[in-house]
């Protein structure tokens, strides 16, 4: 890993000085029509209806695909400030990103997501880089590096992509190696001494071999400050790298090899104290002052380092062989490793009421083999997929001054997962304008789990649990210091060893009507599954480690894609209804001895209903306006009783899903104009709106998350051929105070994570 890091670091510096010529894209065989130097006004980066996507495993115009897709090209992503997965909320209404209380990302599309704090929690939204799966959401940290485009598919996926997903899929398409030498670099300097340096080198090695290497280094000083003492937090330090080699030994055979990864040595964000919630909380905690309404204000333990030491690496290989002019065999193989070591403050104070140290690691392997082709009016894809995962997760709570009966403990979980799948997808063209689509996938997953909570070695926690076990069992039970203390049904300490074996059949059917070259109407019905999950939890009783079983979602969607007013306006919209069964939530179960305990649960019935509309307007040359609006109405159905965020038993029927705003709006405007014979100017900006939501079940006021609107601005100049470009930017122009998460990870305090304050800076870009 260290060798790869040094090699990619050197490459990013080489990119600054290397000359280049215009890039072509072999991977998707897309046609490129860059503006010429004679153009008085350059075309916007993102043209109307001309983005080619591979969402259905073949190259198609995004506005001729009967699926709800948001597709944005790489240069437009950079323009709009999309530097990581969290920033996709700027371009994709209906997408939501939350960093959990322990730092694990939670991805949601149209209200379909899975909030859990364990690194091994399978996401309801799958993420891929060049169709190679990233099995854990935390792995997507560096996926936005050096992109050709990103494709965001909404609704159940699985009949074409390698993993099952109820919410959707995000496919990052990397920029490919080029036939001629090409390079570039970007240097950003901004508030909090943020420095981002990224660059790439691309070109031929031989007549049949091409390569591309890209790297990014991003660091910043502390952006958070304590409001009770002289202390700061929030340093950033992330390195990302990717190397791709494409080999075409013959006209029919193509290989692509990729190595990519990242290293994160940033500090974990500190939360704000939102409320004291524990009736037995220590007096010092109850007297702690609440923070001001300031994104930068926070508090954190003074004697604990929050600097992460985490890294991820993945190697993959793809082979495509054309059996004939219309039939292709594809193999995609990938292996990845992840190691995480982080500490988080989970009470928002300088008193150590609740903090955690979170080591973890994973190893993952996947293999996909598929056959695709055309036969007359029929296009087909059939394939097999195998995935193997080994995930170890550890959570060590630190509770020196709290209502917990211990000062330190350690919760372990060890999972091994084997997944086998077969899938097929067919498109049949009934007429020149009418196409029928169908797909099916069979998945069989075997999950083995070992979990337990351990005393720290001090003996304080084991002594408490020994007394409980002795009282309940009616016989002496002694748990040694440092031993496993999770009690089984006989009130004896033992590791929980369990299995979860599940299979399912997901499917999709649809019809597309291309009424005219610029009008597409479509309707789809699909069913998707998300596999079950075991929690990583501080479990006094084995009952807390009961898994949530697989969830299913049946989706009904009808939509349109219209090119209007001589293609000056592209208008795409859809209505959808999701019938949700056994949705997985982080809730509570009742232990007969000590009452409600944190656990994963299934909600038998719920639904999502809503609609979305996206418009791209180019009223005059050089001016492009993008706007998207999504309404997502979520509701728990039936007579469902569980516990609210403060462990009070309540009827939850009729409630909306936590962390799911019903309205989301994105908007971006970009205007490019000529300044001189050799230079263009540009101005633009974006706005995102998120409606109010709640951080927990029960919709308690302590966990309310207010609505907010964020505004970004940008302006700059560029040479006509875009060889040099200088951009000034401001993010969160109004310095809006807003929260992304409110939760109660410990027994005494509810905490709030805020978004970034106003930031600004300059970016100098070089292309030749």
Cα diameter, the chain: 91
Strands 595-617 vs 496-516: parallel, antiparallel or unpaired:
unpaired
* Mean pLDDT on 585-605: 79
**Among 133-137, 204-208, 421-425, 645-649, the least confident range:** 645-649
Q: Is residue 695 within 8 Å of 705, Cβ to Cβ?
A: yes
**Among 295-299, 351-355, 449-453, 589-593, the least confident range:** 589-593
Q: Which of 118-122, 267-271, 543-547 has the highest mean pLDDT?
A: 267-271
How many Cα atoms are found within 13 Å in the side-chain-facing hemisphere of 588? 23
* Mean pLDDT on 666-689: 95
* Separation of alpha carbons 663 and 674, rounded Å: 38
Bridge partners, 127 (sequence order): 134, 170
pLDDT for 117: 85
Bridge partners, 331 (sequence order): 319, 369
Identify the band that residue 36 occupies on the pLDDT scale cut at 50, 70 and 90. Answer: very low
pLDDT at 575 over 90: yes
pLDDT for 397: 93
Structure tokens at 579: 């019938």
Identify the band that residue 591 occupies on the pLDDT scale cut at 50, 70 and 90. Answer: low
Q: Return the H-helix or E-strand segment holding 578.
A: strand 569-591
Only one residue has tokens 């204000």, namely 297
Angle (nearest 5°) at CA 217 between 215 and 223? 155
The string of pLDDT tens digits covering residues 38-81 is: 333 333 334 455 677 666 666 777 788 888 888 889 888 988 88
pLDDT for 21: 30
pLDDT for 532: 92
Strands 182-190 vs 168-174: parallel, antiparallel or unpaired:
unpaired
| Global pTM exceeds 0.85 | yes
Identify the band that residue 26 occupies on the pLDDT scale cut at 50, 70 and 90. Answer: very low
> Mean pLDDT over all residues of the chain?
89
The string of pLDDT tens digits covering residues 484-508 is: 999 999 999 999 999 999 999 999 9
User: Could you tell me the domains of the chain?
Assistant: 2-767 (2.40.170.20)
pLDDT for 678: 93
pLDDT at 400 over 60: yes
pLDDT for 22: 32
pLDDT at 32 over 90: no
Alpha helices in 498-558 (DSSP H): none
Q: Is residue 198 within 8 Å of 216, Cβ to Cβ?
A: yes
The string of pLDDT tens digits covering residues 143-187 is: 999 999 999 999 998 887 667 889 999 999 999 999 999 999 999
Identify the band that residue 204 occupies on the pLDDT scale cut at 50, 70 and 90. Answer: very high
The string of pLDDT tens digits covering residues 441-473 is: 999 999 999 999 999 999 999 999 999 999 999
Backbone dihedral angles phi then psi of residue 223, each to the nearest 5 degrees: -110, -10
Identify the band that residue 5 occupies on the pLDDT scale cut at 50, 70 and 90. Answer: very low
pLDDT for 57: 62
Percent of all residues in the chain with a pLDDT value above 90, rounded to a whole number: 78
pLDDT for 413: 95
Residue 287 neighbours by CB distance under 10 Å: 9
How many Cα atoms are found within 13 Å in the side-chain-facing hemisphere of 50? 13
pLDDT for 594: 57
How many Cα atoms are found within 13 Å in the side-chain-facing hemisphere of 436? 6
pLDDT at 34 over 80: no
Percent of all residues in the chain with a pLDDT value above 70, rounded to a whole number: 91
pLDDT for 711: 97
pLDDT for 752: 96
**Among 34-38, 308-312, 446-450, the least confident range:** 34-38
């Amino acid at each position: 890993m260290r060798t790869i890091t040094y090699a990619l670091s050197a490459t990013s510096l080489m990119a600054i000085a290397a000359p280049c010529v215009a890039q072509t894209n072999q991977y998707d065989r897309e046609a490129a029509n860059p503006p010429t130097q004679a153009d008085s006004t350059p075309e916007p980066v993102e043209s109307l209806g001309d983005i080619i996507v591979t969402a259905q495993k073949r190259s198609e115009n995004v506005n001729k695909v009967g699926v709800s897709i948001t597709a944005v090209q790489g240069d437009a992503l950079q323009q709009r400030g999309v530097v990581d997965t969290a920033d996709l909320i700027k371009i994709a209404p209906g997408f939501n990103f939350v960093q959990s209380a322990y730092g694990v990302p939670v991805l949601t599309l149209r209200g379909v997501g899975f909030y859990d704090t364990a690194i091994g929690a399978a996401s309801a939204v799958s993420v891929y880089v060049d169709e190679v799966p990233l099995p854990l959401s935390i792995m997507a940290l560096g996926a936005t590096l050096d992109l050709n485009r990103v494709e965001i598919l909404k609704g159940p996926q699985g009949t074409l992509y390698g993993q099952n997903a109820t919410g959707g899929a995000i496919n990052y398409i990397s920029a490919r190696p080029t036939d001629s030498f090409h390079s570039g670099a970007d240097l950003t300097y901004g508030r909090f001494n943020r420095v981002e340096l990224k660059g790439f080198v691309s070109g031929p090695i031989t007549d049949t071999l091409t390569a591309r290497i890209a790297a990014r280094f991003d660091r910043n000083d502390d952006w958070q400050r304590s409001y009770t003492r002289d202390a700061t937090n929030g340093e950033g330090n992330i390195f990302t790298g990717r190397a791709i080699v494409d080999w075409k030994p013959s006209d029919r055979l193509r290989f692509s090899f990729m190595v990519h990864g990242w290293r994160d040595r940033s500090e974990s964000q500190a939360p704000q104290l939102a409320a004291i919630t524990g009736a037995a909380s220590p007096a010092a905690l109850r007297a702690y002052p609440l923070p001001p309404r300031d994104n930068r204000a926070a508090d954190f333990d003074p004697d604990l380092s929050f600097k992460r030491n985490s890294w991820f690496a993945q190697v993959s290989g793809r082979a495509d062989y054309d059996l004939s002019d219309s039939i292709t065999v594809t193999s995609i193989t990938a292996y990845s490793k992840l190691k995480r070591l982080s500490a988080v403050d989970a009470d928002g104070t300088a008193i150590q009421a609740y903090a955690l140290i979170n080591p973890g690691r994973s190893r993952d392997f996947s293999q996909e083999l598929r056959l695709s082709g055309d036969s007359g009016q029929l296009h087909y894809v059939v394939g097999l997929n195998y995935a193997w995962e080994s995930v170890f997760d550890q959570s060590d709570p630190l509770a020196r001054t709290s209502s917990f009966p211990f000062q330190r403990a350690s919760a372990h979980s060890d999972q091994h997962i084997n997944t086998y799948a077969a899938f097929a997808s067919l498109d049949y063209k009934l007429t020149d304008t009418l196409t029928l689509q169908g797909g099916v996938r069979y998945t069989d997953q075997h999950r083995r789990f070992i979990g337990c909570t351990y005393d720290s070695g001090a003996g304080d926690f084991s002594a408490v649990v020994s007394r409980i076990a002795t009282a309940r069992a009616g016989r002496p039970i002694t748990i040694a210091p440092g031993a496993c203390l999770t009690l089984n049904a006989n009130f004896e300490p033992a590791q929980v060893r369990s299995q979860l074996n599940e299979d399912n059949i997901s499917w999709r059917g649809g019809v597309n009507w291309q009424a005219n070259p610029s009008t597409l109407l479509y309707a789809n019905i699909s069913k998707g599954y998300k596999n079950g999950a075991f929690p990583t939890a501080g479990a006094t009783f084995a009952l807390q480690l009961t898994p949530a079983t697989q969830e299913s979602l049946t989706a009904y969607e009808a939509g349109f894609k219209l090119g209007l007013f001589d293609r000056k306006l592209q208008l795409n919209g859809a209505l959808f209804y999701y019938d949700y069964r056994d949705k997985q939530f982080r809730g509570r179960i009742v232990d007969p001895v000590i009452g409600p305990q944190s656990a994963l649960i299934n909600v038998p019935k719920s639904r999502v209903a809503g609609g979305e509309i996206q418009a791209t307007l180019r009223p005059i040359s050089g001016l492009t306006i993008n706007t998207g609006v999504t309404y997502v109405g979520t509701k728990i159905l039936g007579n469902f009783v569980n516990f609210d965020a403060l462990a009070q038993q309540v009827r939850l029927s009729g409630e909306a899903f936590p962390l799911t705003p019903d309205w989301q709006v994105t908007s971006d405007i970009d205007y490019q104009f000529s300044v001189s014979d050799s230079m263009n100017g540009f101005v633009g900006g974006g706005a995102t709106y998120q409606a109010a939501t709640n951080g927990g079940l029960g919709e308690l006021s302590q966990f309310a998350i207010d609505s907010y609107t964020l505004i970004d601005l940008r302006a700059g100049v560029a040479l006509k051929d875009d060889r040099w470009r200088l951009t000034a930017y401001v993010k969160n122009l109004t310095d809006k105070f807003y929260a992304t998460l409110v939760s109660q990870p410990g027994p005494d305090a509810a905490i709030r994570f805020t978004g970034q304050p106003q930031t600004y800076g300059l970016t100098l870009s070089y292309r030749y």
